Structure 1
Amino acid sequence: MEQDVRFGNYRRPQRESFQQFENKNLNLNENHGNVDVHLVNVLERLEKTMETNAQVLQNAVVVIDNLSKKISKMTSAEEDDNYVNSKRKDKVTVEVKCTFLKISDIDTIAQQFEAEIFVQAKWEEPELQSVLRDPKLKNVEDLSELVSWDPRLMIMNVNGTMTLNRKTHEVQLLEAGYQHPVVRQLWRFKGFFHESLELEHFPVDIQDLTISISTERSSREIELIEDLHALSSISTKAFMDAQEWTLYRHIETYRDHTTVEYCSSTIHPILHIQCRVARKTGYFIWNIVFTMVGLDFSLSGTELLIVCLTFSAFTIDSSSSDRLAVNITLFLTAIAFKLVVKQSLPTISYLTYLDVYVVAALVFSGMQVTQNACMNAASHFIKKADVEFYDRLSMAALAFILIAFHVVFVVYIQRKASRRRRMMEEKDRLYELKKEFLEKCGILPPKYDSSTILPTDLDSILK
């Protein structure tokens, strides 16, 4: 019998083949005639049975296809119904607490950082009030199954995919400070996050590391605020870039809004949660700059050595072309040094402090070359004694310009860097006051804004 591979059924062999088979068997020994006839009957019944089974299988395939289509339609309809039913009539206030569990790989060139984050979002759920009144619902083991509303939080500045992404829910029926049961959404994730670094003060810069939390719901449905009962925090012991950066202890939050086009055309709230790090200047001190006595940081370093070496050319006679050759060589060396320094920074459209110094050093080297060329040209028209006098005078003027530039530049940077670092230390102190206030009062002041409240306000409250 021939097999049909497509449907698994068997084709009916021609009746003549069975007849020939029967006739051939009848011509055999008469003692075996009855056995052959019985075998033919069995084969015919088996053929009919296989044809019936093949037809049943074909009908089953059609039924399964129809059922799968109906199930998919029912599932999509249920998801749409859940989305509609998940909306609430009132505007929900969601308190967000963020913990930086681990920060590593702060990449200045790529302008991103890697972090492992824990986010706790909590809100009141009046529908769960029925659990307290209904004794049957109290026996439900997982109360989170009764929660139908979700804030639909998302991270705005994630760069790529989050490798660790787990969400769980828990319900607290009675919690101090709330009128209704409280739902907590616990979210832990890890990934790379984009951060536009402000490198104007490089290499004495302080950078913000921000997690921007938004929602797919509009600002009419939801409001994101800082958790008033628990402070956001950061684990300083798990900081992996401690060799290059200094991590501050405080966490700041501020609110914003945006329009996410792929969700809807409405306005969506954003809560920015940020910590701060200060770049350690040790690498740049020993590899690019040197420390000056009495100052924490100075830009008179390797580039200054190159500039100072230009004064060695004054030992060569002003009428000789060797002086000009030495200064041009040092000028090209300074340009090569600038290209090496540029590899530590991304492509930015403004100058950093280090760029300003390097450009100033190049300008000064150009002034040296110009002075050498002028003295060489003047030696052909005026007396040698006069050339040497003007040469010494111009050399003293260049030295005065160099010293005055460094004094002004170092004082300016020192004041700017120190003021910003003092500001960060004051924010750390304010953060500690907030901790004390929460331990004493259990809740932050109403309408609290971490960007506007003054440390003296918390001091007076604690007193």
Structure 2
Amino acid sequence: MSNTIRSDSYSESVRRGIHPLTTTPIAANRRSATTGNVNRTSAYFPTTSNLSSNSRSATLSAIVTPAHSYQRLSNQQINMETKTKKINTLPKAKPPREVSLRVKFIRLGEVNTLHEKFYAEVVIEARWLYDPEAASWNPNLYVKNALGDIKQEVAHELVNNLDEPVFVGDKLHGIIYVWEIRKLVGTFWEKLELNSFPADVQQLSLQIVARCPIEECVLVENRFQPSMVNREAFLAQQEWFLYEHIETRSTITTEDFSFRPIRQSTYLVTCCVARRPGYFYWNVYLLIFLITLIALTVYGVAPEHPQSRLQITCTLLLTSIMFRWSVSRLLPPVSYLTLLDKYTLVSLVFISLNSIWHSVIGFLIRHMGISKIIDYYVLSIFTAFFIIYHFLMALFLFQALRSRQVMLESDRQYASKLAGMFETFVQGHHAVQRFQERQNSSRTSLFV
């Protein structure tokens, strides 16, 4: 029996020639690893019978992975083709319905500048194609800028392209429309632009909105029957001038206060009015002009008596302040200065500067012995300032009134548009002639 010395170290086993890597050829190991016979014994791949079940399944899965990947890709391709076929077989979405609108301002009442609202009686004519499959469909129109509860009357009727009534029971061929007439009476809100007050031009608008989403309904203008306004029934003719043209615009608004935000079609109809500035010329501008002019007459008092000068100028200053407050109550508390505000504030500053100078000249004459001639120079400076700023205010007022000429030109174009819709040339010519007569008669009252 040989005395064999055993060692667990790698170097000892290699030296004695008993380690598997030194006894098994490397080429044989590589061949066994690359051949498909898994039962061959090798140093790198033991016998499959000795492998555990988990190792065997991992080895087999690594071998068959490409087949499973190919099968998975083919299944995905089949699923995509199936989905594409389903999408192609689905019914296509219908385009949104067009609801043509025509608005008639039957009567316009008071335009309240302080509370920014106006009274109106309006008729809204809506028209859309009749669909027998959805006979009860309705755009559910409403006026978004209405204040409080407004009176409303709604009527429906089926008509053909000639606006003649038809009945569903009759076998009629052709296009059938649903004609909805909605009459509204109430007060509506409008944001007023008062930068050029009292020579301002205001737009009185109605915001007509459909309750259904934009994908279902679109509000458009009636191309055959335009909107109109009844100037004869304007109840505020003493204060405002009503133009004849109507401006329309279609837009999209978002209803954010619902469970899901809805994009809705909105139709804006606007009529324009211009304030008659004659009242403010005689009762505001003229009075402030006289008060400011009197401030220059105080220089007739000798500068040795500043108490007399200050008494007069302070009285004029307090009068101007109280007058300004009485005028401000006619306007809402806006964060900008109107044309009238600028004029009254400059006048107050002018009177205040004169009052300051009267106190200064009295002090200089008494304690420093300055000549009185300086008072005449200051009077000349204030007089030149008075003339210049009144000239600038008149220029600003003239520029504000030029916008009214633009509105009159829009009226003329609108009258020509209406004349082109009449059946005969004579009717259109008479309509334009009547408009020109009304325009010439109201031109003086519009600017004065």
Under a length normalisation based on structure 2, what TM-score does the superposition of the two structures give?
A: 0.69
Alignment deviations for residues 51-87 of structure 1 (CA, whole Å, 9 cap, x no partner): xxxxxxxxxxxxxxxxxxxxxxxxxxxxxxxxxxxxx
- Residue 90 of structure 1: CA displacement? 3.3
Q: Does 1:90 align with 2:95?
A: yes
- Deviation (angstroms), 1:175: 4.0
Shift of 1:147: 2.9
- Matched residue, 1:149: 137
Name 1:74's counterpart in structure 2: none
Q: Residues of 2 paired with 1:336 and 1:258: CA distance? A: 45
For the residues of structure 2 that align with 1:354 and 1:383, how far apart are their CA atoms?
42
C-alpha separation between the residues in 2 aligned to 1:347 and 1:308?
29
Aligned pair partner of 1:355 in 341, 366, 384: 341
Q: 2:383 aligns with which of 399, 411, 423?
A: 399
Indicate yes or no: 2:154 matched with 1:167: yes
CA distance in 2, matches of 1:218, 1:416: 41
How many pairs align?
321
% same residue: 28
2:217 corresponds, among 218, 222, 243, to 222
- Equivalent residue, structure 2, for 1:99: 104
Partner of residue 331, structure 1: 317
Q: Which amino acid aligns with 1:157?
A: N
Name the structure 2 match of 1:272. Answer: 268
Is the contact made by 1:174 and 1:182 (CA closer than 8 Å) also made in structure 2? Answer: yes
Partner of 1:423: 406
Runs of 4+ in 1 over 6 A off after TM superposition: none
| Superposition deviation, residue 261 in structure 1 | 3.5
- Judge which range, 233-242 or 88-97, deviates more: 88-97
Alignment of 1:22-421 (within 5 A): 89-127=94-132, 147-163=135-151, 165-175=152-162, 180-262=175-257, 264-289=260-285, 301-320=286-305, 321-383=307-369, 386=371, 388-418=372-402, 420-421=403-404
Q: List runs of 5+ in structure 1 lacking aligned partners.
A: 1-87, 129-145, 290-300, 442-463
- Structure 1 residues 249, 173: closer, same or farther in 2, change over 3 A? closer
Q: Deviations over 1:242-283 (max 9, x none)?
A: 010011001110122212245551211111001011101122
The one-letter code of the counterpart of 1:152 is N
- Please list the CA deviations of residues 104-156 of structure 1 after superposition, one character each: whole Å capped at 9, or x if unmatched: 0110001000000000000112438xxxxxxxxxxxxxxxxx83110111100
SS of match in other structure, 2:313:
helix
Q: Secondary structure at the match of 1:199?
A: coil
Instruction: State the match for 2:434 in structure 1.
Output: none
Q: Secondary structure at the match of 2:302?
A: coil
Distance in 1 separating the partners of 2:161 and 2:295: 77
1:399 Cα deviation from its structure 2 partner: 0.5
Partners of 1:182 and 1:203 in 2: CA distance: 46
One-letter amino acid of the counterpart of residue 369, structure 1: S
The 3-state SS of whatever aligns with 1:149 is: coil
Q: What is the root-mean-square deviation of aligned Cα atoms in Å? A: 1.9
Instruction: Tell me the SS of whatever aligns to 1:237.
Output: helix
**In 2: Cα distance, 1:97 partner to 1:278 partner:** 23
CA distance in 1: counterparts of 2:420 and 2:253, whole angstroms: 32
In 2, the alpha carbon distance for the partners of 1:238 and 1:436 equals: 22
Q: Distance in 2 between matches of 1:102 and 1:276?
A: 14
- Evaluate the alpha carbon distance shift between residue 174 and residue 100 of structure 1 in structure 2; reply closer, same or farther with a 3 A threshold: closer
Answer whether contact 1:94 1:122 (CA < 8 A) is retained: yes
Residues 199 and 400 in structure 2, CA contact (< 8 A), matched pair in contact too? no
Residue 439 of structure 1 and its aligned partner are, at CA, apart by: 3.1
Aligned residues of 2:139 and 2:210 also touching (Cα < 8 A): yes
Question: Matches of 2:161 and 2:207 in 1, distance apart?
Answer: 30
The whole-number CA distance in structure 2 between the counterparts of 1:312 and 1:90 is: 76
Structure 2 stretches of 5 or more lacking a match? 1-92, 164-172, 425-448
The whole-number CA distance in structure 1 between the counterparts of 2:396 and 2:419 is 37
Distance apart, 1:210 and its partner CA: 0.5
